[in-house]
């Protein structure tokens, strides 16, 4: 293997490493005199030695964390009285892994890409003969007990029968087909295609073969094969039948012994080691750790060598010198804190379980765990750190399709975890592309995520960063309006990233200004449209089309939204391949809003709306101590007016709308995320995607632009399967809109009795607000309703209504319009419209 490809396997493609590879892949002949950054050979060498040390330290830390996780898992297993029988009908919740499942999981990982390295007998400074402790004494002990041997392949192949790992009727091929690393996909084993080993493991091997001998034969031959890359095809052919036989030796696994062994804290006496090959994942480390402990400690093994386990272990657990004694690690840790954490987790799980029993299908979580779905271990670690153990239903439904590389159009209710559902495949796409190792002069963008608002872009970026916590060298950047273009450019140059999350307008600015981003986008592997229906709406479609035109055709595209109207399905072809998957987790004819949101509607004259909002808020605050309310208004200026009014009424309010500077918007958005007992008055900039935790009430003042917008606004509450409340406040002439919502569970209530004293107070508060705000609100109001087809057609009625609104906000006469504006709006000669002279 050349030094360049060796480096590629071992390191992540930080730019300096890529340039390093580039330099060393030059033709031989003395090598370069200077290195990047003007370093001489020795400085360069020292720099890399330092980096290697840092990396080693990082890996040590990782190992330590993994070990701690395992200890936690065991404690959890002990604290939790019985392992989950997992009946199909009960609601999903996170149960601790039983030790048996744990070791099985590790054994599963043994079959992953790269795990072949674990079989290499030469991977250690000592030979097995020099290891009396493991192969000698231990085997003696095992022989004495005379129990049947453990067989990891039976563990692996017994996927469908978790409770009975020692089943005789194992079928490894079935299991392999269910994995992402399956032969079926054929992708993940590419590195070792020559050997045919992995493929053959998946096949049904002949029964009753002397596996141990075969394994040893195989290992010897494979070793030779590995050493001599130009091995003849004849030799390769010889390997195949041997490997085939390995597929079926899963007969005599004594599962109880293994769980006993784990329960008895065998880990305390275990030893760990670093894999010399840095490219091997922490998964591999896990596995090898577990394997060597099994080899050392399980009682009841007869002859490891004879029965194939020595092949699984190889002489692999030989690196005694490098291993960190686990009991030392144990001493270093104070587990009392962790036990407390686990206790909390268990009681939370019980809560989820109980609520699940009550609510049946209501939980957004599925039964599947992230560590079962073939995503990278570092991502799983980050997910665990973020508290994500089980997938949500939409994540379960989409992940495998997305990981296969198919285009997909996905519909799932609000607050059900769509963001992670597309971020995870996005990260996998980057990892896959990086590992394929193509170096390019300009660092390409591999994933582009488009979303409609700046706040949503920031939120997605934060989530992506959390998921990338343990992936060094993968960067994500946001491109949104409201920031200086030049700053964006500098950021892009100084901090190359592989993932960009952008709003269409700003991204297009970059593309049209030829900022260098266009070239970087030529390497794009995945395009994601979050809130896809909105991005394909008239407001955004042109920009999105222009952007898509600049992207390579050979890419994967994923479209996600809680609402996908028919026309959007049609135009989605602009982005998606014809043969894309359509995944609808809501289901045809099912209610599109979360079940636990109580929805109601009030109809009252427009002039009363602000006072009704005040009344509803007061009522809610007195009933819900930890209230958190979002009030949606039709336009930014009306939002501003209502905000000022409620502030004058001494309510704890904040505002977000497009007229506010970006810094202010971000600050308020962050504050609202973290707060309770706060009311956010906002325009539709907060309608989609924003994940404000624990919103208790959503009020929509006036008719939303369409049914979809109603659903998205409402979806700011009742997220993650929690309860919530939504109230829609309409004027009598807006009632027709209820026809669009007739399939939703909306209760209609009479308008509340309003207190005349409060009316007086509100009039007083309104009088204090600057006239310019009110004028702007009037113009915005007129513009908004004029744009709604059903109302905007009857211009005379529209102007009459606008003038009533004008009076209700304390303006003596309607503010005038520019002639040009009036003309554009079709209002020039309508009675009641005043034209500016
Ligand atoms: N697997 C998971 N386990 C636990 N919580 C999760 C999981 N996936 C997502 N969540 C949480 O669910 C909440 C909603 O997620 P997210 O914002 O992705 O929803 P969404 O479907 O995109 O909503 P919207 O349609 O409003 O955009 C977030 O708080 C997120 O942290």
3-state secondary structure 449-465: EECCCHHHHHHHHHHHH
Q: Is the pTM of this model over 0.90?
A: no
**H-type alpha helices, 715-794:** 756-767, 771-787, 789-792
Give 694 Cα–ligand 1 centroid separation in angstroms: 12
User: How far is Cα 565 from Cα 647, in angstroms, rounded to an integer?
Assistant: 38
Give 595 Cα–ligand 1 centroid separation in angstroms: 16
User: How far is Cα 757 from Cα 755, in angstroms, rounded to an integer?
Assistant: 5
Q: Find out whether 584 and 711 touch, Cβ atoms under 8 Å.
A: no
User: How far is Cα 669 from Cα 461, in angstroms, rounded to an integer?
Assistant: 14
Per-residue pLDDT of 16-29, as tens digits, reads 444 443 434 333 33
**H-type alpha helices, 626-747:** 636-648, 662-674, 707-714
ipTM for the complex?
0.99
Atom in ligand 1 nearest the alpha carbon of residue 693: 29
Q: What is the pLDDT of residue 438?
A: 64
Helix (H) or strand (E) holding 682: strand 678-682
Which residues, 6+ apart, have CB-to-CB distance to 227 below 8 Å?
none
Three-state DSSP state, 359: helix
718 lines ligand 1 (CB under 6 A): no
Smallest CA-to-CA distance from 813 within 791, 836, 786, 784 is with: 836
463 lines ligand 1 (CB under 6 A): no
Residue nearest to atom 10 of ligand 1 (CA): 417
504 lines ligand 1 (CB under 6 A): no
Give 449 Cα–ligand 1 centroid separation in angstroms: 17
Are β-strands 365-369 and 390-392 bridged in parallel, bridged antiparallel, or unpaired? antiparallel
Q: For the sheet with 476-479, list strands across it.
A: 476-479, 499-502, 447-450, 526-530, 556-561, 408-411, 581-584
691 lines ligand 1 (CB under 6 A): yes
Per-residue pLDDT of 392-449, as tens digits, reads 999 999 999 999 999 999 999 999 999 999 999 999 999 998 877 666 667 899 999 9
Residue nearest to atom 4 of ligand 1 (CA): 388
Q: What is the pLDDT of residue 79?
A: 66
Query: Looking at the DSSP assignment, which residues form a beta bridge with residue 601?
Result: 728, 748
Give 719 Cα–ligand 1 centroid separation in angstroms: 8
> What is the DSSP code (8-state) at residue 367?
E
Residue among 363, 720, 721, 726 to mutate when testing ligand 1 (max atoms within 8 A of CB): 720
Mean pLDDT calculated for residue range 340-355: 57
Q: Is the pLDDT of residue 178 over 50?
A: no
Q: How confident is the model at residue 630 (pLDDT cuts 50, 70, 90)?
A: very high
Maximum distance among all Cα pairs of the chain, rounded to whole angstroms: 106
Q: In the chain, pLDDT over 70 holds for what percent of residues?
A: 61
Atom in ligand 1 nearest the alpha carbon of residue 394: 21
Q: Find out whether 558 and 395 touch, Cβ atoms under 8 Å.
A: no
Mean pLDDT calculated for residue range 372-400: 93
Per-residue pLDDT of 310-320, as tens digits, reads 333 333 333 33
349 lines ligand 1 (CB under 6 A): no
Per-residue pLDDT of 654-682, as tens digits, reads 999 999 999 999 999 999 999 999 999 99
Residue among 386, 412, 415 to mutate when testing ligand 1 (max atoms within 8 A of CB): 415
Q: Find out whether 528 and 449 touch, Cβ atoms under 8 Å.
A: yes
273 lines ligand 1 (CB under 6 A): no
Residue nearest to atom 16 of ligand 1 (CA): 417
Per-residue pLDDT of 503-542, as tens digits, reads 999 999 999 987 788 899 999 999 999 999 999 998 899 9
Residue listed under structure tokens 């190889």: 314
Atom in ligand 1 nearest the alpha carbon of residue 388: 3
Are β-strands 678-682 and 628-632 bridged in parallel, bridged antiparallel, or unpaired? parallel
Per-residue pLDDT of 201-228, as tens digits, reads 333 333 333 343 444 444 444 444 444 4
Q: What is the pLDDT of residue 106?
A: 54
Q: Is the pLDDT of residue 742 over 80?
A: yes
User: How far is Cα 379 from Cα 303, in angstroms, rounded to an integer?
Assistant: 38
Atom in ligand 1 nearest the alpha carbon of residue 456: 27
User: How far is Cα 527 from Cα 480, in angstroms, rounded to an integer?
Assistant: 17
């Amino acid at each position: 293997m050349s030094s360049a490809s060796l480096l590629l396997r071992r390191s992540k493609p930080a730019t300096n490493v890529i340039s390093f590879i580039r330099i060393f892949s030059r033709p031989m002949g003395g090598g370069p005199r200077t290195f990047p950054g003007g370093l001489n050979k020795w400085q360069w060498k020292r720099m890399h030695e330092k980096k290697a040390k840092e990396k080693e330290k990082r890996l040590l830390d990782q190992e330590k964390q993994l070990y701690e996780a395992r200890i936690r898992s065991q404690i959890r297993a002990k604290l939790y009285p019985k392992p989950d029988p997992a009946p199909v009908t009960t609601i999903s919740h996170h149960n601790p892994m039983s030790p048996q499942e744990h070791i099985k999981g590790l054994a599963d990982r043994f079959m992953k890409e790269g795990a072949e390295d674990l079989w290499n007998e030469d991977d250690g400074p000592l030979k097995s003969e020099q290891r009396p402790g493991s192969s000698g004494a231990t085997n003696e002990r095992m022989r004495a007990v005379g129990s049947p041997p453990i067989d990891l392949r039976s563990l692996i192949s017994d996927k469908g029968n978790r409770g009975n790992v020692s089943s005789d009727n194992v079928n490894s091929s079935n299991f392999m087909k269910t994995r992402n690393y399956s032969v079926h996909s054929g992708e993940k084993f590419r590195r070792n295609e020559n050997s045919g080993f992995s493929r053959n493991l998946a096949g049904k091997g002949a029964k009753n073969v002397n596996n141990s001998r075969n394994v040893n034969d195989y290992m010897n031959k494979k070793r030779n094969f590995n050493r001599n890359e130009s091995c003849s095809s004849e030799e390769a052919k010889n390997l195949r039948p041997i490997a085939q036989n390995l597929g079926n030796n899963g007969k005599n696994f004594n599962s109880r012994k293994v769980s006993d062994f784990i329960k008895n804290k065998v880990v305390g006496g275990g030893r760990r080691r670093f894999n010399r090959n840095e490219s091997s994942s922490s998964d591999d480390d896990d596995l090898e750790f577990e394997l060597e402990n099994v080899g050392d400690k399980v009682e009841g093994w007869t002859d490891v060598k004879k029965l194939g386990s020595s092949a699984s272990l190889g002489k692999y657990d030989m690196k005694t010198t490098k291993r960190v004694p686990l009991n030392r690690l144990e001493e270093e840790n104070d587990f009392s804190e962790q036990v407390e954490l686990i206790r909390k987790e268990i009681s939370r799980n019980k809560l989820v379980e109980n609520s699940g029993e009550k609510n049946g299908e209501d939980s957004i979580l599925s039964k599947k765990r992230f560590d079962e779905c073939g995503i990278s271990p570092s991502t799983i670690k980050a997910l665990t750190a973020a508290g994500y153990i089980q997938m949500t239903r939409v994540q379960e439904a989409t992940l495998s399709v997305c990981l296969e590389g198919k285009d997909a159009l996905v519909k799932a209710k609000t607050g059900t975890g769509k963001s992670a559902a597309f971020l995870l495949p996005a990260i996998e796409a980057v990892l896959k592309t990086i590992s394929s190792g193509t170096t390019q002069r300009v660092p390409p963008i591999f994933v582009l995520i488009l979303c409609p608002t700046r706040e949503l872009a920031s939120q997605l970026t934060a989530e992506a960063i959390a998921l990338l916590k343990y992936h060094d060298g993968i960067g994500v950047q946001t491109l949104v309006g409201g920031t200086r273009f030049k700053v964006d450019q500098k950021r892009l140059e100084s901090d190359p990233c592989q993932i960009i999350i952008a709003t269409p307008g700003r991204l297009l600015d970059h593309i049209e200004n030829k900022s260098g981003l266009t070239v970087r986008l030529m390497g794009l592997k995945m395009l994601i449209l979050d809130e896809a229906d909105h991005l394909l709406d008239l407001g955004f479609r042109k920009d999105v089309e222009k952007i898509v035109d600049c992207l390579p055709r050979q890419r994967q595209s994923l479209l996600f939204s809680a609402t996908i109207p028919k026309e959007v399905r049609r135009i989605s072809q602009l982005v998606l391949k014809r043969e894309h998957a359509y995944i609808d987790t809501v289901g045809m004819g099912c209610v599109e809003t979360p079940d636990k949101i109580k929805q109601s509607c009030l109809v009252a004259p427009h002039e009363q709306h602000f006072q009704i909002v005040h009344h509803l808020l007061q009522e809610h605050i007195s009933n819900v101590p930890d209230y958190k309310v979002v009030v949606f208004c039709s336009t930014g200026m009306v939002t501003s007016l209502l905000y000022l009014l409620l502030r004058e009424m001494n309510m704890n309010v904040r505002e977000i709308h497009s007229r506010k500077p970006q810094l202010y918007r971000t600050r308020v958005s962050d504050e609202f995320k973290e707060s309770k007992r706060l009311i956010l008055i906002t325009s539709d900039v907060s309608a989609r995607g924003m994940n404000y935790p624990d919103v208790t009430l959503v009020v929509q003042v006036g008719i939303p632009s369409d049914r979809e917008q109603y659903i998205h606004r409402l979806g700011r509450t009742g997220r993650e399967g929690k309860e919530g409340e939504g109230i829609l406040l309409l004027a009598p002439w807006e009632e027709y809109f209820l026809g669009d919502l007739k399939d939703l569970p909306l209760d209609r209530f009479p308008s509340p009795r309003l207190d005349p004293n409060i009316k007086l107070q509100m009039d007083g508060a309104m009088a204090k607000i600057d006239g310019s705000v009110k004028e702007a609100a009037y113009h915005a109001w007129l513009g908004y309703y004029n744009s709604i087809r059903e109302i905007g057609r009857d211009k005379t009625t529209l102007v009459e209504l606008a003038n009533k609104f004008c009076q209700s906000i304390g303006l003596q006469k309607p503010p005038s319009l520019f002639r040009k504006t009036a003309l554009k709006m079709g209002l020039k000669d309508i009675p009641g419209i005043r034209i500016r002279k």
